[in-house]
A and B are shown apart, each in its own frame.
Chain A
C-alpha cells in the first residue's frame, strides 16, 4: 500500500510538472507581456527602453530558459510577484484556498446528504412515480448551467426578497462569522444543486444494480424489510463506487466552483485564477492553476487509498 501510494505520488509530481510546462507555454501565447503593458501605461517609453527592460527581466530569452528559471525559483519556494495585487504570490494564495475549500467541502457534504436519502427512496420502487420524479430532479441538477442558477438565486433572494447578500465573502468591514455564513448560503446552494444531481444519478444507478444481487434476496428472504435491506446491505455496497465518483468529481467541482465564485464575487481560488488570467498576471495564474491541479491529484490518490481501506478485496500491492 505504502509503495503504491508512493508510486502514485511520484506520478502526480510528473503530471504536475507536465501541466506546468504546458501552462507556461500557453501563458507565453497570451496577449501582452509585462513590458507591453508597461508601454501602454506609459507612452513616453521608447523602444530602446522596452528592449532594455525586456533584457533586464529576461523576457528576450527563449521560452525553455525562462521556464527553467521559473522552475528553479518555484522549487525554492519563490513563486514570483503578482502584478494584480502587488504582493508576493505566496502571500496571496492562502486565504482564497481556504475560502474555496470551505465552499467545496460544504457543497460536497450537503450534496451527498441530499442525494443519498433521495436515491434510497427512489430505489424502493424502481421506475415507480417517486423514482421517475427523483430521476428528473437529478437530470435537472446536472443539466442546469451553474452561472444561470446563480443569477436566478441572486434575483430571487438578493434582489426581490432582499434576504441574502448578492456576493462577496463577507460584508465590508464585518468579517464576523455570521456575515461570512450569510454570504456562503447562495454559492453553497448553487454548487449543492449541481453536486446533488451528479451524486443522485450515480447513487440511484448503483443501488438499482445492487438490488438484483443474491445477498439482497437473502436479506429479504430472512424477513428484513425493504427499507432496512436497502439501508444495511444495498447502501454500503453502493457507497464503494460512490467514493470514487465523488473523488474523481473534485476536478469538476473545482470547475463549477470557479463559475460560482466569479458570479458571486466570492474570493476563492477560482475567482483568483480567473482574475489573474484576465489581468495577464502570469505568476499568479501559474501558481493558482498548479495549486488547483495539485489539489485534484491529491484527492484522486486519497480516493484510491480510501477505496482499498473500505473494501479489503481491493489491494494495490501487485
Chain B
C-alpha cells in the first residue's frame, strides 16, 4: 500500500446560482429598468403620463395607450411605471435604512451582551409583536410642519422611508444578533480582542464581514415587506400623496372606478404582487445559495 502524496486541497467548485435566484433577479432588474426609464418609454410611445386629456378619459387599452388611460386621460402604462419608480425607490431605501438600524442594534446587543442585549432584544420582540400598522398610521398622520420639517414632494417620500424603516428593522436586528453571537467567540475575534483592538474595530473589521450573508438575506426579504407597507399606507391615503404616483395610491384612486375600469385596479396591484414575490424569492434563493456555498466549503 503506497501512501498518496499530500495533495493540495482542490479549489472549491463554484456554486452556480439557482434558477430561482436568476429568475427573480431578472424579473426585478427588468421591472426596475422599465420603471426608471419611464420618461423615455413615454417618449418612444408618443404618450404622456402627466398631461390631462379630459376628452380621452378611461380609454380602453389600445394601440395608442397600451393600458388605456386613467380618469384624467393620462396614459396608464406610464402612470404605473412612474408609480413603480416611487414604490421601488421607497422599498430599496427603506429596506437599506431598516437593515442599517437593525444591524447596528443586533451587533451591539450581541457584542455587549448582558443588560444592553436584553434590552435590545426586548425592544425588538416588542416591535415585532405590536399591531404595527395601526401605530404607523398615527406616525403617518402627524403633520411634519409641526416638527419644523419640510413638506410636499421629495420630503413626502422621505417621510415614508423613515416610517417604513421604523417598521422594518427588528427582523434584521434578530438575524444580525444571532449571526453575531455565533462568531462572537471565534478565535479570530478573540485574537483581535487579545491584540487590544477596540470594540468598534472588532465589530467593523471582524464581525460584520462574517455576518453579512444572513443580514443580506434578511434585508432582501425586508424589501418585499417594505414595498407592501408603503403600498398599504399610500392606499390608505397616508403615504405618498398624489399627484406623485405610487402603486399604492394608484390603487386607491382605482378603487372608486372599480366597476367602470377594473384594469386600473388590477395592474398596479399585480405590479406590487410580482415585486413582493420576486423579492421574497430572491431572499429565499440567496439563503439557499449561501447555505450551499457553506456546505461546499
Contact = CB atoms under 8 A, between A and B. Distances in A.
User: Are A and B bound to each other?
Assistant: yes
Nearest to B131: A254
Interface of B: 126, 128-135, 137-139, 141-143, 145-147, 224, 228, 231-232, 235-237, 251, 254-255, 258-259, 262, 265-266, 268-270, 272-273, 276-277, 280-281
Interface of A: 15, 19, 23, 26-27, 29-31, 139-140, 142-148, 151-152, 154-155, 159, 248, 250-252, 254-256, 258-259, 262-263, 270, 273-274, 277-278, 285, 288-289, 292-293, 295-297, 300
Contact of A155 (B134, B147, B265, B277): B265
B133 A143 contact: no
B129 A148 contact: no
A155 B126 CA distance: 37
Contacts, number: 127
Contacts of B273: 140, 143-145, 148
The 8 A-B pairs at the shortest CB distance, nearest first, are namely: A148-B269, A255-B133, A31-B143, A254-B131, A29-B142, A143-B276, A143-B277, A292-B131
Given A159-B259, A277-B138, A293 B266 contact: no
Contacts of B147: 29
B139 A289 contact: no
Which of A144, A151, A248: most chain B CB closer than 10 A?
A: A151
Given A15-B126, A147-B232, A26 B139 contact: yes
Contacts of A30: 138, 141-143
A278 B128 CA distance: 25
Given A145-B231, A274-B236, A26 B142 contact: yes
Contacts of A23: 135, 138
Dominant SS at the B interface?
A: helix
Contacts of A155: 258, 262, 265-266
Given A155-B258, A293-B130, A293-B131, A148 B138 contact: no
B260 to A, nearest CB: 10
B142 A151 contact: no
Contacts of B255: 151, 263
Contacts of A288: 134
A151 B265 contact: yes
A21 B259 CA distance: 44
A143 B231 contact: no
A277 B131 contact: no
A277 B137 contact: yes
A251 B128 contact: yes
Nearest to A249: B129
Contact of A254 (B126, B134, B251, B281): B134
Given A19-B130, A29-B147, A145-B251, 15 more contacts: A26-B142, A142-B280, A143-B224, A143-B276, A145-B228, A145-B276, A146-B232, A147-B232, A151-B251, A251-B130, A251-B131, A258-B137, A274-B134, A292-B134, A296-B129
